[in-house]
Structure 1
């Protein structure tokens, strides 16, 4: 950096020296004006040499901008001085330089003096909180110099000064997207990451918040990725105080939300594992793959945990993945089974007891102490020393942000979803849905929605993550059912979507989800009604092997009359999904008496003539459903 700055300063210093030397050769007519320019140039040259001596401390971005402008001013000043030299009678007689040109040149030199003086002050390591003011170069864009000043503080200030500078950048980035762009362009990311690694608690929080706010588009996130944000975040999530870790988890969610292509880069730095560890801390015990195995005993213990888990799976119905797209028999119990939704505590207790079985018989540690110790082991691979001493608010905020980050990381990414579900994250989400604060519940529900959305199209993930009779899957389905049945929560839509995504995994006799979803078709809120109709469509569509069973269950729950009302009188965003669902029911159960009584054929004929329902897929469905119904119900419809 010092060499670059000296190279930048070399030419303007040479120009200044040349101006000073040639000023003495000016004619008597211009001598006074040239003398004034010489005086100002000498001041400027002294400042430029001072800057060269302090090149190690100078902040490069404003240095380049200011020195470039200064160089242009000095070139213009040199051109004027050369015109004033006494090089012959004719030139002395005919050279005319307006007085205004000297005044303008003098003002420009004064501005350059002010700019270089400000640069030296802003780059000084200790300024005693003096107000620097704005340099002349900031006349047209004052915010740029404010950003320069704060970034200079990040480079050369004390830890407290750097924390204050990061807080100022947080305010600027939050206020205006353009200011965030300027912070990145002017080199603010590198010192922010350095503060995040080295600063005090408040400084680290401010730095993490600033980085999260700066990542508002994919170009900005790409820049931060190249600057090393992934490795810094991984280090913080492993070792830093929980308050800082929570802000970093939030920042991860922001960067991934605005640039999903960076999901795998974060995963490569073990961010998934670390976030799951935070989610599992004091929630449920994490999978042994995330436990610290510092010695052989721990490794043996981890293996015993895995074996015990496999044995338990076999004892409750086998660990062979079941997907009704493949098995086609409907004989294996669904993850939800006939389990009562209030038995979540038993599910968690049983799951933790599996691991407890692996405790050596000759251990003198009490059962309670052993379980407590297991809960306090870092399950994400990070040190949790002192973490249990954090206040409840901080712990809850950590879980909220860990869930939010996992939600964004899971979106549309099969490999990350597989990493999440291979841990005990699903069980964590289920427990948090039941007992967590509202914002933690919401982020958990959104994470489950995204994971199940990927599983819907990824059969391998669906079979491995949501196979029947596993405690985690049972717990998740139970909690989704409770929320949908109560129908009084902000979690309703993501939970409805998650159940719809799992529609292929439900067995023929597992109909408890159908009734609550049908009931929601009569909900007055369009978003909820649409989500319910889409979820039911996933049960009723032809791709679902048990579509006939599910269609009959929808009819038995009174779905036909609700759908007729929605097609005729529902909001436009609901009508298309209602028509699709009604078409699938008509295709698969065309001889239903309930459909005949509801005059579904008449409804579908009417729908086929509506311009807003002429989407290609819907139009094809309507045509097929009408043809099928006419074979069974045309006489009833005409009657």
Structure 2
């Protein structure tokens, strides 16, 4: 940084010295040239001061101001060069407008003001002594840019944590007000000092920094810049060790970045963000939420058993003798083995308990020391730390963790696999039932995205949502409860999730069809459309159990509702309703209910509707469904 700034300053300093020298040698307009020399020397002095303080200078405004200063000095150099003409002919042919000196003099004054502002804005808070910086002349056309420079300079200048927190809060306000201001903050190098504050600051400063970063990522290009600055590792560290209030803002920021640029999902996954977010989601939601700790404990006991069963050479020799002389020693040796194994296991458990107690004491001492030395909370991934947070903070943390997992899982197989391999599905099921409103909503959205990915990838579908899985059963049970209760805020997401899982259900699992069919009757258009789309996934030819599901739809009264939607529904509902009716006619054409409801007449009517026969999803189905229904129903009439 220092060497770069010195290189930037070298050229204007040389130009200023040259202008001063030529102004001194001027033959014409000597008084005006001496005035230019005075201002140029003042500017040169400020530039040299800037070069001496190059370590403290903020590079972005330095480049902008020095570029403008060089242009002014170049004009001044041309002007004083003309004034050196000493022959009569040169004087006659050298034309200098009367306003040239006045304009150049004013530009030099502006450059002096710009460099003075640059030195003040780059100085520490003690050196400024709370002096109001004002706006430099360069800010005449874009005052917001200089305000951004000032706030970023405070973040960079080693000011106190309180001042840096206030600067981050100002950037939050600017980024929230206008997307263009957010782009300017990124372009002017605001992201690295915000990340530094997030790592080093107190709680309020960390919250402001995390919120600013979340607001800055409004488009893919901005998110890419933020990710390249190292945001993923910093956010992961906060999720692991930070105060829960800061972790809540960080989880929200992750959801914003992932929503605006899905390509960053893998970066967060690679930095362990998924597991950390699931840990927050699982805390106080389900028991034994840390499967990793349980696995390690089982491993230690297993190793003890294996060690206790390993025989030495002497024991092998004793076994040989026992085989040679069975009887008397057999009972004693068996009892000896049982006692030895039991004592070994008991000793290992005692040692493990001692180690755990010692570790907990060390953690408590560290937490007490950190509480005395700083305002950082003991709340992190430690369960003991998180227990002390208030209920509101815990609920907000769960909501933002679910929101982040929702956005991170959208269309991403790797992330969905990581989520389903943890206890997250069980957490979502519990939170969907008992969580606060926003937690329920984000949990439902997360399940919708995970099931959508599972629908497209059979391997994930079979591993995560197999019928025998307790977590999968819990998820389906809660989705069904929401649909039966028709909870408005959760209904659409849950209907979509059930539709996404249509290929996972067994032939005997018909309890989901009835509630979906009921949603077709006298509902809002959006709900009816989603129910019809979900039922299409049960009835479509790709579903191996399509015949069973079609019969279940008919038994639940689906045919009558679908006919009403085809004739009188809005177009958004009409199209999936016609598609579903076609699938039912294709797969169960012998149904008496279809004949009684005169579905054939409905399909005939559909073939005369231009907007329906041109629909890509209906075009290949409608003629085949109509002809198949005609075949079986005419045959039925012949038999009667």
Residues 479-494 of structure 1: pairs in structure 2 closer than 5 A: 479-494=478-493
1:72 aligned partner: 71
Q: CA deviation at 1:631?
A: 0.9
1:320 aligned partner: none
2:608 aligned partner: 609
Q: In 2 relative to 1, CA 148–276 (structure 1 residues): closer, same or farther, beyond 3 Å?
A: same
Residues 369-448 of structure 1: pairs in structure 2 closer than 5 A: 382-448=381-447
Q: CA deviation at 1:609?
A: 2.4
Answer 1 or 2: higher relative contact order, Cα 8 Å, separation at least 6. Answer: 1
Q: CA deviation at 1:286?
A: 5.1
Distance in 1, Cα, partners of 2:346 & 2:487: 43
**2:553 counterpart of 1:550:** no
Residues 529-608 of structure 1: pairs in structure 2 closer than 5 A: 529-608=528-607
2:280 and 2:398 in contact (8 A); partners too: yes
Max radius of gyration: which structure?
2
Q: CA deviation at 1:582?
A: 0.7
Please say which of residues 3-12 and 612-621 is displaced more in the overlay: 612-621
2:372 aligned partner: none
Distance in 2, Cα, partners of 1:142 & 1:20: 32
1:570-616 deviations in whole A, cap 9, x for unaligned?
11111111111111111111121221222211111222222222123
2:4 aligned partner: 4
1:152-203 deviations in whole A, cap 9, x for unaligned?
1111122111111111111111111111111111111111111111111011
Distance in 1, Cα, partners of 2:525 & 2:635: 34
Structure 1 residue runs of 5 or longer lacking an equivalent are: 305-357
Distance in 2, Cα, partners of 1:275 & 1:474: 23
Distance in 2, Cα, partners of 1:103 & 1:634: 101
Distance in 2, Cα, partners of 1:301 & 1:80: 89
Distance in 2, Cα, partners of 1:87 & 1:244: 72
1:21 partner SS: helix
Q: CA deviation at 1:509?
A: 2.2
1:297-328 deviations in whole A, cap 9, x for unaligned?
57436999xxxxxxxxxxxxxxxxxxxxxxxx
Distance in 2, Cα, partners of 1:79 & 1:300: 83
Q: CA deviation at 1:523?
A: 3.8
Structure 2 residue runs of 5 or longer lacking an equivalent are: 305-344, 364-378
Q: CA deviation at 1:469?
A: 2.7
2:57 aligned partner: 58
2:504 aligned partner: 505
- Which structure shows the bigger proportion of residues in helix conformation? 2
**2:261 counterpart of 1:259:** yes
1:17 aligned partner: 17
Q: In 2 relative to 1, CA 469–302 (structure 1 residues): closer, same or farther, beyond 3 Å?
A: farther
1:575 partner SS: helix
1:418-471 deviations in whole A, cap 9, x for unaligned?
111111111100110011000000100011111111111211111111122322
Distance in 1, Cα, partners of 2:10 & 2:351: 76
2:521 partner SS: coil
Residues 262-411 of structure 1: pairs in structure 2 closer than 5 A: 262-285=264-287, 288-291=290-293, 297=297, 299-300=299-300, 382-411=381-410
2:211 aligned partner: 209
**2:592 counterpart of 1:626:** no
2:29 aligned partner: 30
2:279 and 2:290 in contact (8 A); partners too: no
Q: TM-score under structure 2 normalisation? A: 0.85
Distance in 1, Cα, partners of 2:550 & 2:384: 54
2:225 aligned partner: 223
2:479 and 2:494 in contact (8 A); partners too: yes
1:286 and 1:424 in contact (8 A); partners too: no
Distance in 2, Cα, partners of 1:365 & 1:88: 100
Q: In 2 relative to 1, CA 595–359 (structure 1 residues): closer, same or farther, beyond 3 Å?
A: farther
**2:237 counterpart of 1:235:** yes
